[in-house]
Every structure is written in structure tokens, then in C-alpha cells.
Amino acid sequence: MPLYSQIIQYVLSGITIGSVYAIIALGFNIIYNSTSIINFAQGEFVMLGGLTMIFFTVMLKFPLVIGFPLTVLVLTLIGIIMERFAISPIKKPTVVTLIIVTIAVSILFKGIAMLVWGKDTHFLPPFSGEKGIAFMGASLNPQYIWVVGITVVVVVLLSVFFKYTIIGKAMTACAVNRTAASLMGINVKRMVLLSFALSAAIGGIAGIIITPITLMSYDNGAILGLKGFGAAVLGGLGNFYGAIFAGLLLGVMESLGAGLVHSGYKDAIALLVLLLVLFIKPSGIFGVTEASGFKKF
């Protein structure tokens, strides 16, 4: 395999895994924008999405087209339950309290998933076979195309939602200024609930599309959440396009790091890039300095 096709291979793999980070980062941003909470249970949504999909399509043998929306529905409900029972009961929340609460919820989700699905790693067959597609000397897993394709669809739908629908605009308003939004008659509490539902649904979609590549077990959520958080911060918290760019960047850095330097250090290389960016630009690539100052710790 010549070096240039190797590099193409690294970049392709990087883009795939990077789109997953991007989509998880979007979930972080949706909640962050309406509540300034970093939801450390975001990765668990991805895990639950993958495992629920396995339940519907592998155990109950539903076809993909039914399993997919059902899983997204279940995850939306989980997001709503989380907001109702863990986030909204807290009076006078501080940022640190909320971090611990979401961590507690993620432990809880993990415990429940372990009891429901057991401790084994589960497998989901790819949507359309696994025969590699040749591409400029590199080989493309068909599932990669699904991952990238669905990520693009999600991003487009989200942009439309936030730009052109009333609810979407209301949520954006909350993100810009909560007090002003509530003065304008927007029910901020409902927007918070909605943001959790939406973000859980998106996490679920991420879980569905990557499980055929990555396999899924009850304890896979944390690491995916971590990478997504990295992408969200790198892109500038709350910035959607920043998240997508940063997610792809992290994915490609990792993949190139594994291929050209050493596989053991690939995460370290990606993290090092992240740290350097933050040290130079403390509010992420696309973040605004004032915005990072607002959300006080």
C-alpha cells in the first residue's frame, strides 16, 4: 500500500470517527445553550441508543426502518425523564452541583444498562454489509457512509429547526439571554426540558449509527462522552459549526496519530492539540471570549 493511499485511509477513518464526536458534541451544545449545563451523561445516551437499537433489531428482529425511529423515541423519553427527575428538582443549582448530578445520572444509567443488557459486549450488524468499497487505493467501510451521511442529515435538520421554527428560535433566544427570553414570554423551563429530549434523541442516533463499527457494552458511554466534550470545547462551547469542525479535527488527528506516530499515543496526540489550542485561544476555535466569561463557574 503506497503512503498516499495510506494517508487517504487514515483521513477517511478519521472523518468517520470524527463525525461521531461531532454529533455527540452537538448534543452537549444543545443542553449547554439552554441551561449552561455540561451534561456528563451525554455519552450514556449514545450507549443507551446503541443498546436499545440492538434490543429492537437483534433481539426482537424488527427491521431497521422501524427500530431506528423507535430507538430515537425511547431515548427522547429517557432525556425527558432525566430532566424531570434529576435536573429540575434541584433548587438554586450551581455549575459544580450540576456536573456532579449529571455524573450521578450517568452512573445510574450505566447500572441500569448493566442490569438490562448484561455485561457482554453486544453487536449490531452493519446497515448494508461490510464489504469494503475501494476509494483511491483506500478501502471504505459502507457503514462509514451511513455515519457521515446521517450526521450531515442531523446537522441540516438541526439548523433548519433552530433557524426557521418558533420553538427552535425560542430555544436560541434562551441561549442568548435567558432572562430576556423569559421576559418575552418564552417558557424557559419547557425549553430546558425540550433541550434534554432533543439532545438525548441525538445521542441515541449517534449510538445507532456507530454501534455496527464500534460494538456496544454498558460501559462504553463515558469515553464517547469524553471525546464529544472535547470536541464541544475545542469548537467553542455552544457553537454548532465549531463542534462539527472540532469533532472532525479530533477524529482525523487521532487517526493520523495512530497511523503515522504510534497507536498507543493517538489519544494523547489529539488531546495535546486540544490543549495547545485552548492555551492559545482560551474559548475554543470559534468561541467568543465574552461568552465564555458569562457562564460563571
- Report 141-180 residues binding other proteins (CB under 8 A): 141
Closest approach, Cβ 297 to other proteins, in A, equals 4
Q: Tell the smallest beta-carbon distance from residue 22 to other proteins (Å).
A: 14
**Exposed e or buried b per residue across 199-238, where buried means at least 16 C-beta atoms within 10 angstroms of its C-beta:** bbbbbbbbbbbbbbbbebbbebbbebbbbbbbbbbbbbbb
Q: Is 279 in the site for other proteins (CB under 8 A)?
A: yes
Residues 209-228, interacting with other proteins (CB under 8 A): 210, 213-215, 217, 219-220, 222-223, 226
Least distance (Å) from other proteins to the CB of residue 252?
A: 10
Question: Which residue intervals of 130-187 are DSSP H helices?
Answer: 142-164, 166-176, 178-183
| Euclidean distance between CA atoms 49 and 60, whole angstroms | 15
Among 66, 69, 77, 89, binds other proteins (CB under 8 A): 89
Question: In terms of CB distance, is 23 or 170 closer to other proteins?
Answer: 23
| Residue type at 237 in one-letter notation | L
Closest to 243 in 3D by CA, of 38, 36, 28, 13 = 28
Is the Cβ–Cβ distance between 278 and 263 less than 8 Å? no
Closest approach of other proteins to the CB of residue 93, in Å: 7
Is the CB of residue 176 less than 8 Å from the CB of residue 19? Answer: no
Question: Which stretch, 46-54, 112-120, 158-166, 240-248, contacts other proteins (CB under 8 A)?
Answer: 112-120
Which region among 46-54, 58-66, 72-80, 265-273 touches other proteins (by CB under 8 A)?
Answer: 265-273
